[in-house]
Amino acid sequence: MPAPRMYKTEAIVLRQRRFGEADRFLTVFTPAHGKMDVKARGVRKTTSRMSGHLQPLTRCVLSLARGHVSDVVTGCETLESFQPLREDLERLSRALYAIELIDRMVPERVHGFPTYRLLTETLRRLSEAEDQDQVLRFFEMRLVDQCGFRPELEVCVGCGSALEPVENFFAPLSGGVVCRGCVGGLTGTRVLSVNGLKVLRLLQRGSYNDVVRVRMDGQLADEVERHLRSYIVTVLERDVNSAAFIERLRREGARQAVEV
């Protein structure tokens, strides 16, 4: 049976770019069809009935018609607009980071039910959580896992022996943790503290509820963030753009706190 000409799907809008006079190309992430580009006609006019439902960071139901190059949006309705994310720059910058990671990591047109659920839950958590960075760490670890880049945290990737509870090294290029004996000659490695390894393991194996129960001090949170970031940059083979904006907000926030 040929695929139907019209179909409906749930989707999260990742990003949009202008096209033609009043059209937009949207990158959306759907559970059954994965990430794909769709065309939305006339949504840049103020009288458009759809534009409000197609903003990035919206979970909505899309009616799509199959087109030659990309499918065309014929109707849509918002399910969740994650309003708190849009009203707070801190939350917004983190949500954009999550969206960018999905956009870069997930292949096109490959179904991704678990990843879709992960993204939905992450956006909800970012709307509510006190510590949004912790939400992001959990999201990052789960995402690399689901994309097939699970880092090795149990045994040394050099010699294969179980890791001792001492200071080890995180080696993104080798895909996991190496012990003191194997670290020589590897590039891009960073010291991984005992507590850092514990947190990374918890992020990999524990549920979200386990993770939020852990209170990390600033230094430990910083270490975990740096390790995960270096791993993601290694996997993507490029920088994550929105990370720079989070950094900037942090720097300026700190400066303002000093002035006050």
Partner 1 sequence: MAVEDQRGTDSRDNSNLPSTFSNLVYLHWRPYRNSRAYRLASVCTRDREVNESTPATAAPLARLIDELYKLPGIGPKSAQRLAYYLLRMPAAEARALASAIVEVKERVTFCSVCQNVTEVDPCRICTDGQRDRTIICVVEEPLDIMAIERTHAYRGLHHVLHGAISPIDGIGPEDLKVSELLQRLRSGEVKEIVLATNPNLEGEATAMYLTRLLRPLGVLITRLARGLPVGGDLEYADDVTLARALEGRQEMQG
Say which amino acid occupies 211.
V
Pairing verdict, β 23-30 and 59-65: unpaired
Q: Which of 32, 66, 67, 83 binds partner 1 (CB under 8 A)?
A: 83
- Cα distance between residue 89 and residue 256, in whole Å: 15
Single out the segment in contact with partner 1 by CB under 8 A; choices: 43-51, 158-166, 169-177, 184-192: 43-51
In the bound state with partner 1, the residue whose beta carbon lies nearer, of 53 and 142, is 53
Beta-strand relationship, 190-192 and 168-171: antiparallel
SS3 191: strand
Sign, Cα dihedral of 53, 57, 61, 65: positive
Interface with partner 1 (CB under 8 A), residue from 103, 154, 167, 210: 103
Q: Which of 26, 28, 36, 96 binds partner 1 (CB under 8 A)?
A: 96
Among 7, 9, 10, 15, binds partner 1 (CB under 8 A): 15
One of 20, 67, 114, 160 touching partner 1 (CB under 8 A): 20
Which residue in the set 8, 49, 111, 251 belongs to the binding site for partner 1 (CB under 8 A)? Answer: 49
Nearer Cβ to partner 1 (67/181) = 67
CB within 8 Å of 62: residues ≥ 6 apart: 8, 9, 10, 11, 28, 30, 38, 73, 75, 76
Residue that is written with structure tokens 């096209």 in the block: 19
Query: Smallest distance, Å, CB 236 to partner 1?
Result: 13
> Which range, of 78-86, 106-114, 145-153, 198-206, touches partner 1 by CB under 8 A?
78-86
Q: String of b and e for 216-236 (b: at least 16 CB within 10 Å)?
A: beeebbebbbebbbbbbebbe
Q: How far is the CB of 157 from partner 1 (least distance, A)?
A: 32
Phi, psi angle pair for 11, to nearest 5°: -160, 155
Task: Determine the Cα–Cα distance for residues 44 and 17; give it in Å rounded to an integer.
Answer: 11
100 is an interface residue for partner 1 by CB under 8 A: yes
**Residue 117 CB coordination number (10 Å):** 13
Q: DSSP letter at 152?
A: B
- Residue 11 or 99 with smaller CB distance to partner 1: 99
Among 8, 66, 67, 89, binds partner 1 (CB under 8 A): 89
For partner 1, the binding residues in 159-188 under the rule CB under 8 A are none
What residues between 209 and 248 interact with partner 1 by CB under 8 A? 241-242, 244-246, 248
Residue among 62, 99, 118, 171 that touches partner 1 (CB under 8 A): 99
For 140, list phi and psi in degrees, rounded to 5: -60, -50
Contact positions toward partner 1, by CB under 8 A?
A: 15, 20-21, 46-47, 49, 52-53, 55-57, 78, 81, 83, 86-89, 92-93, 96-97, 99-100, 103, 241-242, 244-246, 248, 252, 256, 259
